Amino acid sequence: MKVVKKASGGKSAGGLGLQLPLIVRFPEVLRNRLHSLQAAFDSAIKSYGYDSHYQGVYPVKCNQDRFLVEDIVEFGSPFSFGLEAGSKPELLLAMNSLTKGSPEALLICNGYKDEEYVSLALTARRLDLKTVIVLEQEEELDTVVEVSRALGIRPVIGLRAKLRTKHSGHFGSTSGEKGKFGLNTMQILSVARKLEKMDMLDCLQLLHFHIGSQIPSTALLADGVGEAAQIYCELSRLGANMQVIDVGGGLGIDYDGSRSGGSDMSVGYSLDEYAAAVVRSIMKACDRKYVRHPVICSESGRALVSHHSILVFEAVSSAPSDYAPHNLELAHLMEELGDECRTHYRNLMAAAVHGDWDTFSASADKLKRQCIEMFKDGSLNLEHLAAVDGVCELVAKSMGVSDPVRTYHINLSVFKSVPDFWAIGQLFPVLPIHHLDRRPAVNGVLSDLTCDSDGKMDTFIGGKSSLPLHEIGGGGGYYLGMFLGGAYQEIDGPHSFAVTRAVPGPSCADVLRAMQHEPELMFEALKRRAEDCAAAGGDALACGLARAFHSMPYLVSAGGEAHVDVADCVLVANSDDDDSAPSRYGSTDGLSSMLSSACSDEEWDLFTA
């Protein structure tokens, strides 16, 4: 609470004057998670006598926040911990961050790829970053080969395998042979043969796979890793220069504290057990085929960053459900009802005297339905209707069966701050961080301040439909915290757009700037690296980097035809013939200046033409 009061307090009182909700980060928790993951694999490798090492990467899609990524690179530098990117903006921020990290750190390039993406990834290799381009589709090989030959940079290639092993839970939709990503066995074999014909089989060095997020058990994990390890061994047999097996994500966290493998909200293993299952499965397959043990890589984003931050928000008011009308003579009003209504009223009162809940409930239901029909017809006034509701609630409360759940109005948007709760039913621990010296005396649900009926939290850890809370006092708000939301929740909040005119969408630099990165400074750092690494071709590299910051984050369509990007509600025109069409590059003045400074006059004229 000291942190919250310092952050939200007025500046005149020594506070920072920040508005709630707040995200409070704990870098030491992040450091502990990374060190614990590394220690778990180091221990398993030593225990089994595994003849290689573990070298993880952080998938920046989990949370691209600048300071978080920089912390991971710093904390992971002693272990050569790297980064994984799945889009052009992510690749740019990963390149910039890794210039400050270990020179041995891996830069894994996943996601669908166009020529711009591949060119940028190969530029990263020219900057002495250990970049691996992972093929998600067989046809991406042609793009990689074509661009690498044009740039004169020999690529390091990985394959994403589409395993038969399937994760049956909610997060397993991208796994199995019908999964969204990866190459099946026929495509893997085809890629290997194409590389062999082009005398590039030595470029194939990594096998990647992903069983699915929140892998529930080590049995499923071992099954998938074992299958992938066999593919790795077969690629080695075929002559590929295999070095690394990337087991992807899937290391789960225990959201509900049950440590159960039968729920999407938990997992039935520890970090040590996870690492042991991975090491044991790979070692078993490789020893059987007499294949050298590969470097083990994982992309454990959720397990790394979920714990390091807390979403702090404020309940500003509460509305009890067990209210009764005031200043109304209930008995008198009830006697003014019609004969049928009075009969139901007397039946429910008699049932209450005898403690017969079933009869009371049935009579109360009949009375309420009868009265609302009369109210709709105009034969019953508001005071009588309120008296009926009040009597039923008061009698139920006296019988000890009333449901006193209150609605607490919270100052945030569930859609923006906790999108996975709304979108996929993901539960997060929510607890009061206020009045912890007192026992909670109220059960409540949380309703946000949006005008949408889905903007509420009424399901909590353990399947409970309410949360133990304190009374909101008269001295200010009531603070709560949501935990384990450091992955995905801070970046996935939906945005609404109204199309008023067609304009170019955000550039890679715009996307980076939205997450507190500084594209101009990133460019200058990469430009200096280009000048250091390639004395002769530094200017050309710098110009290519500037173009990358200025380009669109999404894939560039082939053929130059105009197309509408529905997700961003913008018209992106790639026609070379229409001078009036908006450029597909952004219009940021700072980036225009970086382009002009990085490119020669001839290149700049060509670019702006």
Q: How far apart are CA 526 and CA 97, in angstroms?
A: 10
Residue 444 pLDDT > 80: yes
pLDDT (0 to 100) of residue 8? 73
User: Among 165-179, 304-318, 387-401, where is mean pLDDT lowest?
Assistant: 165-179
Residue 564 pLDDT > 50: no
Residue 29 pLDDT > 70: yes
Same domain, 347 and 469: no
Closest to 413 measured CA to CA, from 461, 446, 460:
446
- Number of folded domains that form the chain: 4
The string of pLDDT tens digits covering residues 184-213 is 999 999 999 999 999 999 999 999 999 988
User: In the listed set 365, 399, 433, which residue is the last one of a domain according to the structure?
Assistant: 399
Does any domain span residue 488? no
Does any domain span residue 249? yes
Mean of pLDDT over the chain: 82
Same domain, 447 and 413: yes
Tokens, residue 134: 């992972």
Q: Which residue has the tokens 């009802």?
A: 337
Same domain, 368 and 247: no
Same domain, 267 and 180: yes
Residue 603 pLDDT > 60: no
Cis peptide before 504 (omega within 30 of 0): no
Same domain, 277 and 180: yes
Examine the residue annotation and report whether 451 is marked as an active-site residue of this protein. Answer: yes
Q: How far apart are CA 123 and CA 549, in angstroms?
A: 13
- For the chain, helix, strand, coil in percent to 5 are 45, 15, 40
User: In the listed set 399, 417, 436, which residue is the last one of a domain according to the structure?
Assistant: 399
Q: Mean pLDDT throughout 56-63?
A: 94
Does any domain span residue 581? no
Same domain, 40 and 63: yes
From 286, 451, 543, 569, the catalytic residue:
451
CATH number assigned to the domain comprising residue 100: 3.20.20.10
pLDDT (0 to 100) of residue 475? 58
Does any domain span residue 15? no
Residue 456 pLDDT > 50: yes
Q: Mean pLDDT throughout 348-376?
A: 89
Q: Cβ contacts of residue 6 below 8 Å, gap of 6+?
A: 14, 15, 16
Does any domain span residue 184? yes
Same domain, 390 and 409: no
Same domain, 239 and 102: yes
Side-chain half-sphere CA neighbours of 218 within 13 A: 15
Does any domain span residue 298? yes
**Angle at which helices 357-377 and 339-353 pack, to 10 degrees?**
160
Angle at 373 between CA 367 and CA 374, to 5 degrees: 90
Angle at 97 between CA 95 and CA 100, to 5 degrees: 110
Closest to 145 measured CA to CA, from 87, 96, 200:
200
Does any domain span residue 582? no
pLDDT (0 to 100) of residue 569? 28
Same domain, 81 and 190: yes
Same domain, 475 and 512: no
Closest to 421 measured CA to CA, from 469, 468, 448, 459:
459
Closest to 184 measured CA to CA, from 145, 227, 143:
227
Q: How far apart are CA 132 and CA 242, in angstroms?
A: 12
Side-chain half-sphere CA neighbours of 163 within 13 A: 28
Segments in 49-114 forming alpha helices (H): 66-76, 88-98
Helix (H) or strand (E) holding 431: strand 430-432
Band the pLDDT of 588: cuts 50, 70, 90: very low
Domain that holds residue 358: 327-399
pTM: 0.75
User: Among 103-117, 126-140, 345-359, where is mean pLDDT lowest?
Assistant: 345-359
Closest to 294 measured CA to CA, from 363, 231, 215, 341:
231
| Residue 230 CB-density burial (10 A; 0-12 exposed, 13-18 middle, 19+ buried) | middle
Same domain, 292 and 332: no
What letter would DSSP give residue 161? B
Select the more confidently predicted residue: 377 or 235.
Answer: 235
Does any domain span residue 573? no
Closest to 349 measured CA to CA, from 385, 394, 395, 389:
395
Same domain, 408 and 429: yes
